[in-house]
Structures are given as C-alpha cells and as structure tokens.
Structure 1
C-alpha cells in the first residue's frame, strides 16, 4: 500500500508531504497506481523547486518521496500542493486498497 501523509500548519496550509510504499496493483510489470502517484508528487516537487524556486528539505529514494517547505507556505505553494492532493485523493478513491492518505498538523 502507498501511504501518503500530508503535513499542514495551524491555518490549514500544506507544509509538506511524505509518500512511501508500493501499491501492489502491478500487472505484467506495469503499475498504473504507482505511476499516477509518482507523477503527481514528482510534478509538485518540480513545481515548487524548479518553477517557484522555493527551498525544501527532501528525501527521494526507491519507494519514498518526502518534501518539506523550508519557509512558510504561500498562495503559490498552496496551489501546487492542494492540486497534487486533489489528484492523489482521486486515485485513493479509485484504488482504496492501494493508496491511503492521512494528514498531520506540523509544528509551524
């Protein structure tokens, strides 16, 4: 199962995310669920770091991607991260046995 944790500050803005695991829905070497989750999270990472040029702390290894904003979230980071979450939620609804999304409040 793919576990997605979304971190939010007290006002509800997303400060980061942690994605780990594998969906287990692979068929003949292809895993559409994992590919969809990876595409959404990688695009959010690239949007924040390459397009917005925001500083982040991150971990990127096999089966794990974590991103935490170094600074407070703003309207632009929120747009990217909430859009990512909309896509992840759609995948989790379509494949509830493969993806679980939880949320936590961060210290900021």
Structure 2
C-alpha cells in the first residue's frame, strides 16, 4: 500500500508530505498506480524547486519521498501542493486498496 501523509500548518497550508510504500498493482516498473503517484509528487517537487524557486528539503529513498518546505507556504506553493493533493485524492478514490491519504496539523 502507498501511504501519503500531508502535513498542514495552523493556517491550513501544506508544508510537508511523505509518500511511502508500493501499490503492488503490477510488476515493478509497470505499476500504473505507483507511476501516477510518483508523477504527481515528483512534478510538484520540480514545480516548487525549478519554477517557483521555493526552498525545500527532500529525503528520497526507494519507494519513499519526503518533502518539507523550509519557508512558510505562500499562494503559489500552496497552489502547487493542493493541485498535487487533488490528483492524489482521485487516484486514492479509484484505488482505495492501494493508496491511503492522511492529513495532519502541525
């Protein structure tokens, strides 16, 4: 199962996310659920870093991704992260046995 943990600050902005696990919906490299989650999360990280120049901390390992904003979220960083979450939520709805999303407050 892929577990996605979203961390929000007191103002409800997304400040951190963690993704762990595998969907196990297909052979390694051919799992469409893992590919969708990876594409959304990695694109969000690239958008924050390369397009917005946001200061972030990444911790990446096989099957795991943790991203933390180093500054408070603003309108643009939050738009990127909320859009990522919309996509992840749709994947989780279509694959509830493979993807679980939890939200936490700081």
TM-score between both structures, scaled by the size of structure 1 = 0.95
Query: Structure 1 residue 90 and structure 2 residue 90: aligned?
Result: yes
1:62-86 deviations in Å (ceiling 9; x for gaps): 1001100000000000000000000
1:34 Cα offset (Å): 0.1
TM-score between both structures, scaled by the size of structure 2 = 0.96
Query: Structure 1 residue 10 and structure 2 residue 10: aligned?
Result: yes
1:101 Cα offset (Å): 0.1
Q: CA RMSD in A?
A: 1.1
Q: Relative to 1, partners in 2 of residues 1:40 and 1:28: Cα closer, same or farther, differing over 3 Å? A: closer
Divergent runs of 4+, >6 A: none
1:44-100 deviations in Å (ceiling 9; x for gaps): 000001111111111111100110000000000000000000000000000000000
Secondary structure of the residue that 1:88 maps to in structure 2? helix
Runs of 5+ unmatched residues, structure 1: none
Secondary structure of the residue that 2:25 maps to in structure 1? coil
Runs of 5+ unmatched residues, structure 2: none
Hey, what does 2:45 align to over in structure 1?
Answer: 45
Query: Structure 1 residue 101 and structure 2 residue 101: aligned?
Result: yes
Q: Distance in 2 between matches of 1:78 and 1:54?
A: 11
